[in-house]
Structure 1
Amino acid sequence: MDGSGTITWETFLENAESFLRVSDKLLDGWTFHGEKDVPGQAYLARQAKIFIPIDDGMVNSAEATDDWCEELGSVLQEDPFVGASSPESPLITEHHILWSLSYSVPVLYFNAWKSDFSGMNVVSVEEVQKYLHHLDLKYTELSQAIHPIVGTPFLFLHPCMSHELLRNTAKSKNQLVSWLSSVAPAAFHLNLNTEYYKLT
């Protein structure tokens, strides 16, 4: 699909390469994976470890609170440098930026794990939606699907709204960054350094 509100694979690659140069300067951790010669078969990726308060909106039910307190308790017992009063727990986040062959727009996939290890204690769609609701965001097109390249379940922001976002940023020198700045707040702990905005 070509036309207003879309970008070509070639434009996606050019924008992504500029994005990566800034990431390398910032030591921000973004990398490119896959086959750049095959449209839609390469993607930008970044994994980060952060610490979040136990009451970060991720934990809203009594059952979830008990699970997280138990999990945090085991972390505290194993690490003599973490004080018993520490109200935080590790969270691994992973964000992938793909290009949709069907829609000709970027698509954001992401996962998070409430542990020090990818794949352990994965964050659910419901928890992320509660977290996003807690931030009072209006984006509701969050789903879970099999990642089209790596083949494992990921959360993703449906690309249906991306056409409008790309139309509104048609004059941007880097539409990938302009689009990403619009969707990042709904992607669960995806924070962009302001240096990226200089590309637009």
Structure 2
Amino acid sequence: MTCLSYVEFVTGCREFLKTSEMLGDSWNFNSSDQDDSISYLKKTLCFKMDEATSSERRKKQTVEEEEEDISNMEHEPPDPSCISLSNSNNFITYEYHIVYSISHSVPTLYFNAWHASGKILTLQEVWQRINEQFSKHIEKNKWNSLTQTEHPVLGRPFFQLHPCHTATLMRDLSFDSNFTPESLKKYIISWLSMYGPVVGLEVSIGYFDK
């Protein structure tokens, strides 16, 4: 298995952050309020509702509902004030954290998601919004793949992609324990490119060119 020490994790994150800044990506370092030596990476993204919902879920809309929507659009002239309100409420905000797992000695992806109203998504809603490519696997292994738990740094409920297989996956990608700052950065990028897309977090191809 391929594990990281906390120092290696921080080194990899700092190298990753340099590339993020070069690409104009929005990752940044954060620290615990109680202990500034405990750090994690953070990024916030905003999605339209249909972007945050899996294709499989979108397909469930019936033909009748689609026809009704079209009919309403044809017979009811849009009110600009209503459009503004609709647009403002049609977004879901995701906040992603890359956190070190002490128990597994690997990076772990934590995140929270909430509606424009400020209401946090339920675990069921999060499961329903998994990328279609991964939804069948998550559906079969819900409680061992993605659950809600306490954030190890903030102490608040967050959703977590379980890290139990990370070390084995990274070993299969030919990472070994002879790390350099550059290889630690590649470790973080490779890991994130596998876990991030599951919950809507895509990794720019630019990270692999730097």
Q: Say if 2:11 is the partner of 1:7.
A: no
Further displaced range: 46-55 or 7-16:
46-55
- Partner SS state of residue 53, structure 1: helix
Give the letter aligned to residue 185 of structure 1: P
Gaps of 5+ in 2: 62-79, 177-181
CA contact (8 A) 1:54 1:89 kept: no
Instruction: Give the letter aligned to residue 191 of structure 2.
Output: W
The alpha-carbon deviation at position 37 of structure 1 amounts to 7.0
Q: CA deviation at 1:78?
A: 7.1
How far residue 157 of structure 1 moved from its aligned partner, in angstroms, is 0.8
CA positional deviation for 1:26: 2.0
CA distance in 1, matches of 2:12, 2:51: 37
Which amino acid is 1:191 matched to?
A: E
Q: Which aligned runs of 4 or more in structure 1 are off by greater than 6 angstroms?
A: 58-61
The yes-or-no answer on 1:121 pairing with 2:100 is no
Classify the secondary structure of the residue corresponding to 1:159.
Answer: coil
Identical counterparts, % of pairs? 27
1:148 matched residue in structure 2: 152
What TM-score results when the alignment is normalised by the length of structure 1? 0.74
Higher relative contact order, chain-length normalized (CA < 8 Å, sep 6+): 2
- How far apart, in 1, do the equivalents of 2:209 and 2:51 lie? 35
1:24 paired residue number = 21
Indicate the SS of the match to 2:130: helix
Partner of 1:164: 168
Which protein is bigger by CA-based radius of gyration? 2
Look up the SS of the partner of 1:79 in the other structure: helix
Aligned equivalent of 1:97: 98
The structure carrying a bigger helix percent of its residues is 2
1:189 paired residue among 197, 200, 203? 200
CA distance in 2, matches of 1:23, 1:145: 28
User: In the alignment, is residue 44 of structure 1 matched against residue 45 of structure 2?
Assistant: no
Describe the shift of the 1:56–1:103 C-alpha distance in structure 2 as closer, same or farther (beyond 3 A).
closer
Given the superposition, is the C-alpha separation of residues 158 and 20 from structure 1 closer, same or farther in structure 2, using an over 3 Å criterion?
same
Deviation sequence 1:84-107 (CA, Å, 0-9, x none): xx7x81111100001111211111
Q: Is the 8 A contact 1:16 1:44 kept in 2?
A: yes
> What number of residue pairs does the alignment pair up?
176
Aligned counterparts of 1:54 and 1:7: Cα–Cα separation in 2: 34
RMSD (Å) for aligned C-alpha atoms: 3.3
Residue 180 of structure 1: aligned partner: 192
